Amino acid sequence: MSTQCRNIASNILFARQIAMNKRRQTYFRNALDLRDKIQVKILRKRLKVSDQQFASIVRKSGPSISAITKEAKVI
């Protein structure tokens, strides 16, 4: 086997090891990821509240979607 083939094979093996050791994102169905702008936008529009109202609701209730929904019904 030539050195070029060995280098390619070792690079593939190294890439697989990195992929296996990477931390996978965990998604929670009942918690809102406030860093994800799309999730925030969709939930805010579904609840029909303004940006300021949504921010105050999240400050009060936390990232739980059910708690945010309950708090939005009160407003």
Secondary structure of 3-14 in HEC code, one letter for each residue:
HHHHHHHHHHHH
pLDDT attached to residue 28: 74
Q: What percent of the chain has pLDDT over 70?
A: 64
pLDDT attached to residue 29: 82
Check: CB of residue 65 under 8 Å from CB of residue 30: yes
Residue among 18, 71, 17, 22 at smallest CA distance from 44: 71
Q: Report pLDDT digits (tens) over 16-42.
A: 666 556 565 666 789 999 999 999 999
Other beta carbons less than 10 A from residue 6's beta carbon: 10
